[in-house]
Chains A and B, each alone.
Chain A
């Protein structure tokens, strides 16, 4: 998976930088699109995956889903933070400000960032055990429900906070652009998958070592 991620990601970057046609309006900065949007979609995928694992945990009561859900949310938060940073740079190139309340995705990711930062606070404040696993899982489920609700809220809020003066998808994407975008997205998803598996292995190892230490000290 790591090899596949590397190959597809590098192909995606190469296509985005060298092959995809230059956007007539926005020039080279349009190429940020091939990085920013796949990262954002990957973050959603991670949050969704985390919620799915949370649902499985509540359903089956199998404790191994707890770590999987936590790791997925962890990855989602990393990609979400990257979305905020790259989105901020995009806002700077497109309309000259580092932050714009008119940019729906960015505002949504800010809310999600706050929400999932609270997830970590909640997790670290609870005592270890199945109770923590269940409460974290319920909170992770609230997250995926909050995503569409917040998106709707942000659209409604634009009517009185910030009038929309620009739309991202003005000119339709050409076929070449769409192909490049898909390769980039696949690469980013593979990267997230690889990191997820690595992180999961590391966290599992950590827990097993702790168990081992305890049994050595007790025995």
Chain B
């Protein structure tokens, strides 16, 4: 139970910091809206409605990139991570806390993005909502560990998208497939598989990323 308490404490720390500084979330909200508006003009008038679903997914992915990129940079810069690693918490709890916090940001951005998409483009189906929820877990699970890796290097903000995008291709396939495919359940199951596999891998390997 201490594990759950540690995770909750770490996640709460990030959320409280965000509430005080208000840096990430407003940027994510504005970014996702601006992206959707920009995409409206990227689509020719006679483009199929199905194409817009793809744009929604690209917008979600890029918004997540924006939010997660900075997740570990304050930790590295202010040497919070060194303290956390020394603290008597399981290191994977640091990862899980970060996943919960970024998941909250991403979900908040999507609460705005999905209705906006419905307003600007077309109605969002339930299978898309389910796919978004499943994809968020995968995005944050993979994103949190990759952000920790990228924050250790010199290039940081530049490095994270390069690391993340090849790993996000399966998420795009699952998300777009759930919206336009004949059998959404298959794609949702695939997203759940992705979440499970990468969450276990990230959970098990995170301690090696932060140990100095």
Contact = CB atoms under 8 A, between A and B. Distances in A.
A216 interface: no
Interface stretch (B105-113, B119-127, B152-160): B152-160
Contacts, number: 97
Given A126-B153, A134-B209, A160 B162 contact: no
Contacts of B170: 146, 149-150, 152-153
Interface in A149-168: 149-150, 152-154, 156-157, 159-160
Interface in B143-202: 145, 149-150, 152-155, 159, 162-163, 165-167, 169-170, 173-174, 176-177, 180-182, 186-187, 190, 193-194, 197-198, 201
B165 A114 contact: yes
Contacts of B145: 138
A58 interface: yes
Nearest to B50: A160
Interface string A109-149: 00110110110011001110001001101110110011001
Interface residues of A, number: 31
A9 B169 CA distance: 36
Contacts of B209: 134-135, 138
B212 interface: yes
Contact of B181 (A122, A131, A160): A160
Nearest to B194: A149
B211 interface: yes
A178 B187 CA distance: 36
Nearest to B179: A160
Nearest to A115: B166
Contact of B187 (A118, A135, A138, A156): A156
Interface string A19-35: 00000000000000000
A151 B177 CA distance: 15
A111 B177 CA distance: 18
A162 to B, nearest CB: 12
B135 to A, nearest CB: 12
A159 B177 contact: yes
A146 B208 contact: no
B150 A122 contact: yes
Most buried by A among B145, B149, B212: B149
Given A122-B149, A135-B149, A138-B145, A156 B162 contact: no
A118 B166 contact: yes
A134 B208 contact: yes
B159 A138 contact: no
Contact of B201 (A112, A145, A157): A145
B154 A115 contact: no
Contacts of A115: 166-167
A145 B198 contact: yes
A146 B170 CA distance: 9
Nearest to A57: B208
A125 B160 CA distance: 11
Contact of B159 (A125, A134, A137, A160): A125
B162 A58 contact: no
Contact of B177 (A131, A134, A146, A157): A157
B169 A153 contact: yes
B177 to A, nearest CB: 6
B167 A146 contact: yes
A84 to B, nearest CB: 14
B173 A154 contact: yes
B153 A159 contact: no
10 contacts: A111-B169, A125-B155, A127-B154, A131-B152, A142-B167, A145-B201, A146-B170, A149-B197, A152-B193, A159-B181
Given A135-B152, A142-B198, A154-B173, 8 more contacts: A117-B162, A121-B163, A134-B209, A137-B208, A138-B145, A141-B201, A153-B173, A156-B187
Interface of A: 58, 111-112, 114-115, 117-118, 121-122, 125-127, 131, 134-135, 137-139, 141-142, 145-146, 149-150, 152-154, 156-157, 159-160
